[in-house]
Structure 1
Amino acid sequence: MNTLSNHITQTLLDEVQRRIIQESVPRIKKCLRLLSDSQIWHRPNEQTVSVGNLVLHLMGNLRQWVLSGIDGQPDDRQRSQEFTETGPVSTEKLIRDLDSLITEINQALNRVTPEALTEKRDVQGFEESVLSILIHVTEHFSYHTGQITYYTKSTLNVDTQYYSGMDLDKTASD
């Protein structure tokens, strides 16, 4: 592949890592540290899962879509268990498991080649390109990070201060 393909691939992978690993994961960990174990495992109603379930679900999704779908590792996901777990699984264990998984995800993403981006992979009953998988896991992770943040802010009445010290009112004309 040419230099431009390598550059585009690396830029994409850097952005996926930035959005998931540098942005969403620290936000989730911050929320987990703010919430008590009972709040992490609280289900507001029978149609809503807990923050703990969402964390388990995100880890299952990353394992299946990135480690299995992209990196070719075995797919042993038990998706329904991510939602039936009632906890409590300790905050420390959730964070430790998330950190361990992120190490594996980084390693897998570092093995993605420009040629692989257009290759089709079977994941969770879908046929997707590696590029599509990368987009899916990024938006999926961000979506559930937002749910976790919303629950934390509404339950504790706190500002998570994700953008502390930044002027978010800046515009292009400033």
Structure 2
Amino acid sequence: MINDFEKILNRDLRRLFTEISAFEKEENLWKTTGEITNSAGNLTLHLIGNLNYYVGSKIGDTGYERDRPAEFSMQNVPRDQILMQIEETQDMVSSVLKNLDDSRLNEEFPEALFGHLMTLGFFLIHLSGHLMYHLGQINYLRRMLETDS
């Protein structure tokens, strides 16, 4: 199962890379429209921070220190830098999860979230869903902004 989680997370990180690359105008990474409050760039920084913190720091003990408010407030980070961070996150996810075995899935995750304790397996399912959710938002926002430009 750990191998499956690694494959799914990296599959969707590759999709994130492709989605960010698909923006025709780099400045659209930092725009919103209508009542949407988070740009594709900020959602991407959020996903990178989320995975580096929970998979990297909490599971893999990488020492990553998260600045969650910056994930939503930074602007105009160059696309090439974001793409490099996505690739680095893929490498980290692979490295951390390949060093685990399935027996760890039933262990308690080292941090209580959402008001309760959970297993590592449950939390990896959550992380995958979180990535897919925001990936869909980024895709939709790109299509809205690129059509309007």
Interval of TM-score (by shorter of Structure 1 and Structure 2): 0.7 to 0.9
TM-aligned CA deviation for residue 29 of structure 1: 1.9
- Number of aligned positions between the proteins: 143
Does structure 2 retain, via aligned residues, the 8 Å contact 1:64–1:77? yes
Q: State the distance in 2 between where 1:55 and 1:151 align.
A: 12
* Aligned partner (choices 41, 44, 51) of residue 33 of structure 2: 44
Check 1:15–1:115 CA distance in 2 against 1; reply closer, same or farther (3 A cut): closer
TM-aligned CA deviation for residue 113 of structure 1: 1.7
TM-aligned CA deviation for residue 60 of structure 1: 0.8
Deviations 1:17-59 (A, max 9, x none): 332212x223222222222221001133676111010011001
Residue identity in the other structure for 1:93: Q
TM-score, normalization by structure 1: 0.74
Check 1:34–1:135 CA distance in 2 against 1; reply closer, same or farther (3 A cut): same
Check 1:46–1:79 CA distance in 2 against 1; reply closer, same or farther (3 A cut): farther
Structure with the larger RCO, 1 or 2 (CA within 8 Å, 6+ apart): 2
Show the counterpart of 2:92. 104
More strand by share: 1
SS in 2 for 1:120: coil
- Say which one has the larger Rg: 1
TM-aligned CA deviation for residue 152 of structure 1: 1.5
Show the counterpart of 2:10. 21
Residue identity in the other structure for 1:111: N
Does structure 1 retain, via aligned residues, the 8 Å contact 2:105–2:121? yes
Residue identity in the other structure for 2:48: M
Show the counterpart of 2:66. 77
Q: State the distance in 1 between where 2:123 and 2:129 align.
A: 10
More helix by share: 2
Show the counterpart of 2:48. 59
Residue identity in the other structure for 1:19: I
Does structure 1 retain, via aligned residues, the 8 Å contact 2:107–2:120? yes
TM-aligned CA deviation for residue 150 of structure 1: 0.8
% of aligned pairs identical?
A: 24
